[in-house]
Amino acid sequence: MHLSLDHHSGVPVSAQIVEQVKYLVVSGALAAGAQIPSVRALAEQLKLNPTTVARVYRQLEGERVIYTQAGRGTFVAPLRGGLTLAEKRSRLAGDIRRLVVEAGRLDLEYEELLTLVGREIDAIRGGKERKA
């Protein structure tokens, strides 16, 4: 599992890891059932304190992105399709509002925002890396 961190971005490294793992899962780069590195191994790979990686793993487990089996390791959970449309919308509402507000703050036309969102969806569906 390849993750890259930008220590100068202003985004906490834990948030960067969470976002990248989720991206790898939805893009199919990490398949359901795939084993991911242990807390210690990922901490060593990223040169981070294991406590930081453990906190990230707890968050990802809480969001049901990954799961741990005692004595076996940590694995990618199946995508969650069991939520109702209303539940899915409710979970996304805050993120969508923040995105739309930020686009407005940047004076980005909403049609351009829709174009960018469409490109991101296409990139994820194609399993490609994001393009800026």
User: Looking at the domain assignment, is residue 69 inside a domain?
Assistant: yes
* Contact by Cβ (8 Å): 64, 80: yes
User: Looking at the domain assignment, is residue 2 inside a domain?
Assistant: no
More confident residue, 1 or 130: 1
Token couple for 5:
């961190």
Q: How many helices (H) and strands (E) does the chain have?
A: 5, 3
Q: Which CATH number characterizes residue 21's domain?
A: 1.10.10.10
DSSP assignment of 48-93: --HHHHHHHHHHHHHTTSEEEETTTEEEEPPP---S-HHHHHHHHH
Please report, rounded to a whole number, the percentage of residues in the chain having pLDDT higher than 70: 94
Query: pTM of the entire structure?
Result: 0.74
SS3 content of the chain, % helix, strand, coil (to 5): 55, 10, 40
pLDDT tens for residues 96-126?
999 999 999 999 999 999 999 999 999 888 8
pLDDT tens for residues 35-69?
999 999 999 999 999 999 999 999 999 999 999 99
Q: How many domains does the chain have?
A: 2
